[in-house]
């Protein structure tokens, strides 16, 4: 820089550093109010302009200041100068903030008043910048598009295809056909599924009975006021025993059906051990119960039987109530269907009236459309007569252009065919030359090297041995490993035999228990049939009345549906 320019730059830098506190007040306020979208990297630019306008405007003059401002970005300078030379801002908060650092009288006389004097001229500069922004035409720069170039890669040489050597085709042995029984499911599985479904249904019924009667102790029945052993106000202490009896009944029925049907069931080891543990626990409980009876304890079986009968009666009453509710719901459904059918009939009548009105409107609309189409057709015919000559001229020009295009296509095809023939001839000669070079390269000399397997490699390593010694050591290691495997196999066989013997014992015990349970279940079933043969089933009068009403409503609905 020149001496004068260097002095100006140094003075500006020193002034910005000295008055940094008051310059930051203006620049920070600008970023908060007007320059929210200005980058923070231009902060020093605004500090320098603020310093020149406040302290150097008298010295450098307005013309020099205008050149500095116009050399920068027009929009940014116009926005900052309009903010800084605002009369309201200079007289209010800028003056107050600067008075925190310097005396208020000094600030007003030396800084604020000169700025207010220069404000009209600076306002003209701001207007020039505004006009420049409004009249500026945006020039769209056309970006240079990068043109990709192909890589100059070496083309790999095509490998020679060796002549195929005829090899004998392997003949596969004829396989035996798959037996048809593979695709048929066994009969035992179907029978087991049927028994399983029956037992699940019975268990669900018993579980429903147990759940419905679980909290009967909290309800008061009118027929069980007094005179019974267990009233509604007492707590039922025998519910666990009752559930156990229910579970035993399910198991007894299950094993009874298994015993009667004689279906073989294949059990795994876990099932055998689990069932054996169950029977062992039942045996211990039965022995304990017998010991308690011998010692004088009471037998709650009669009470449990009476309790079971009472709960059965309660369950029948609840089932009758449920049946009444179900029939009442069915009756409501029939009535709703009848009401819906009546609504459909009314809607059909209304729809018939609407269809008649719609047909009349459609006829009027069709007549109007036919009249419009007729007028439009006449107008089109008039226009087509005027365009007929123009179409003939266009057709002649089109035929002439097609002849020119056909000639050009024939010439281009002939040139392309000649170029392809030349390219194919060049490739054929190149391929023959490559085949000759590869044939010369493939004729390599055969080298033989004799190796003595009894000698060591001579590398000077610890434990170095020949291949023969290595093979002998490997053979000894294989023999030792084989002996260890035989010993382990014998141990596994002994353990397996002991486990199989244990499972056989458990199976014998399970078969005995099943036989006893089957006999007990058969006896109990016979007793139950005898006791139920003398009873007669009576339906509730409410159920009969509801069923009669449902039949009447169903007949009326079917009759109404036939009319519809």
564 residues of the chain, pLDDT tens digit each? 788 888 888 888 898 898 888 888 888 888 888 877 888 888 888 889 889 888 888 888 888 888 888 888 888 888 888 888 888 888 888 888 888 888 888 888 888 888 888 888 888 888 888 888 888 644 445 667 788 888 888 878 877 777 767 667 677 777 788 888 788 888 888 888 899 999 888 888 888 887 777 555 544 444 444 333 333 334 344 444 545 544 555 555 555 554 444 445 566 788 888 888 888 888 888 888 888 877 776 666 777 778 888 888 888 888 888 888 888 888 888 888 888 888 888 888 888 888 888 888 888 888 888 888 888 888 888 777 767 766 776 777 888 888 888 888 888 888 888 888 888 888 888 888 888 888 887 765 445 556 778 888 777 788 788 888 889 999 999 999 999 999 999 999 999 999 888 888 888 888 888 888 888 888 888 877 776 655 444 456 777 888 888 888 888 888 877 776
- Contact (Cβ atoms closer than 8 angstroms) between residue 34 and residue 79: yes
Q: Give the torsion through C-alpha atoms of 130, 135, 136, 140, to 10 deg.
A: 140
What pLDDT sits at residue 489?
Answer: 93
Query: How many CA atoms does the CB half-sphere of 377 hold within 13 Å?
Result: 6
> What pLDDT, on a 0 to 100 scale, did the predictor assign at position 488?
93
What distance in Å separates the CA atoms of residue 58 and residue 52, rounded to the nearest whole number? 9
Tell me, what's the pLDDT at 481? Answer: 94
**Confidence at residue 483, expressed as pLDDT on a 0 to 100 scale:** 94
pLDDT of residue 472: 92
From residue 310, give the alpha-carbon distance in Å to each of 222, 229, 432: 14, 12, 107
Per domain, the residue ranges of the chain are 5-136
Indicate the length of the chain as a whole number.
564
Q: Counting Cβ atoms within 10 Å, is residue 275 exposed (0-12), middle (13-18) or buried (19+)?
A: middle
Please answer whether residues 252 and 521 qualify as being in contact, where contact means their C-beta atoms are separated by less than 8 angstroms: yes
Q: Are 47 and 16 in contact (CB under 8 A)?
A: yes
Q: 194: Cβ–Cβ under 8 A, 6 or more apart, which residues? A: none
- What pLDDT does 487 receive? 93
Q: What contacts 212, CB < 8 A, 6 or more positions away?
A: 315, 318
What whole-number distance in Å separates Cα of residue 208 and Cα of residue 246? 11
Task: Express each pLDDT in 67-117 by its tens digit.
Answer: 888 888 888 888 888 888 888 888 888 888 888 888 888 888 888 888 888
b/e 200-226 (16+ beta carbons within 10 angstroms → b)? eeebeebeebeeebeebeeeeeeebee
Measured distance CA(49)–CA(35) in Å, rounded: 15
Q: Most distant CA pair in the chain: distance in Å?
A: 135
Q: Is 39 helix (H, G, I), strand (E, B) or coil?
A: coil
> Tokens 């083309």 sit at which residue?
155
Asked whether 276 and 509 are in contact (CB, 8 A), the reply is yes
Alpha-carbon span 376 to 175, nearest angstrom: 82
Q: For the beta carbon of residue 242, count every other beta carbon within 10 angstroms.
A: 18
CB atoms within 10 A of CB 130: 14
561 Cβ contact partners less than 8 Å away, ≥ 6 residues apart:
341
Burial class (CB in 10 A: 0-12, 13-18, 19+), 27: buried
Neighbours of 269 (CB within 10 A): 12
């Amino acid at each position: 820089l020149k001496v004068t320019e260097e002095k100006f730059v140094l003075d500006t830098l020193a002034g910005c550093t000295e008055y940094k506190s008051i310059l930051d007040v203006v620049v920070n306020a600008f970023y908060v109010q007007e320059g929210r979208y200005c980058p923070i990297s231009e902060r020093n630019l605004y500090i320098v302009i603020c310093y020149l306008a406040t302290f150097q405007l008298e010295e450098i003059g307005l013309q020099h200041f205008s050149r500095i401002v116009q050399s920068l970005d027009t929009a940014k300078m116009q926005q900052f100068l309009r903010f800084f030379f605002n009369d309201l801002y200079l007289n209010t908060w800028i003056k107050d903030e600067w008075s925190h650092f310097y005396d208020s009288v000094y600030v007003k006389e030396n800084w604020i008043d000169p700025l207010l004097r220069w404000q009209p001229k600076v306002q003209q500069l701001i207007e020039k910048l505004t006009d420049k922004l409004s009249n500026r035409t945006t020039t769209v720069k056309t970006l240079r598009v990068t043109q990709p170039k192909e890589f100059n890669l070496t083309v790999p040489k095509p490998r020679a295809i060796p002549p195929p050597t005829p090899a004998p085709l392997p003949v596969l042995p004829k396989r035996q056909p798959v037996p048809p029984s593979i695709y048929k499911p066994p009969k035992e599985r179907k029978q087991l599924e049927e028994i399983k479904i029956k037992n699940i249904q019975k268990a669900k019924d018993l579980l429903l009975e147990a759940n419905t009667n679980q909290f009967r102790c909290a309800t008061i029945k009118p027929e069980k006021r007094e005179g019974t052993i267990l009233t509604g106000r007492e707590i039922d202490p025998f519910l666990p025993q009752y559930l156990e009896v229910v579970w035993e009944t399910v198991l007894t029925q299950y094993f009874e059906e298994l015993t009667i049907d004689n279906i073989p069931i294949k059990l795994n080891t876990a099932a055998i051990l689990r069932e054996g543990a169950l029977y062992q626990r039942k045996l211990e409980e039965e022995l304990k119960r017998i010991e308690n009876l011998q010692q004088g304890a009471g037998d709650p079986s009669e009470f449990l039987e009476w309790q079971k009968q009472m709960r059965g009666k309660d369950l029948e009453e609840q089932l009758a109530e449920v049946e009444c509710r179900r029939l009442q719901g069915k009756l409501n459904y029939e009535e709703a269907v009848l009401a819906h059918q009546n609504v459909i009939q009314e809607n059909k009548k209304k729809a018939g009236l609407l269809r008649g009105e719609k047909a009349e409107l459609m006829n009027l609309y069709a007549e109007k459309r036919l009249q419009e189409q007729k007028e439009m057709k006449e107008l089109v015919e008039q226009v087509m007569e005027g365009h007929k000559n123009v179409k003939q001229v266009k057709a002649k020009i089109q035929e002439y252009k097609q002849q020119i295009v056909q000639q050009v296509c024939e010439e281009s095809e002939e040139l392309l065919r000649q170029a392809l023939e030349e390219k194919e001839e060049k490739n054929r000669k190149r391929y023959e030359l490559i085949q000759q070079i590869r044939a010369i390269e493939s004729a390599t000399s055969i080298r033989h090297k004799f190796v003595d397997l009894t000698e060591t490699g001579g590398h000077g390593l610890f434990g170095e041995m020949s291949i023969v010694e290595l093979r002998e050591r490997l053979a000894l290691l294989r023999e030792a490993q084989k002996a260890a495997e035989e010993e382990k196999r014998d141990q596994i066989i002994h353990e397996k035999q002991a486990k199989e013997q244990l499972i056989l014992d458990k199976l014998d015990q399970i078969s005995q228990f099943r036989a006893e349970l089957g006999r007990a279940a058969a006896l109990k079933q016979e007793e139950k049939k005898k006791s139920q043969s003398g009873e007669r089933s009576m339906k509730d009068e409410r159920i009969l009345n509801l069923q009669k009403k449902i039949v009447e409503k169903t007949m009326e609905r079917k009759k109404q549906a036939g009319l519809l």
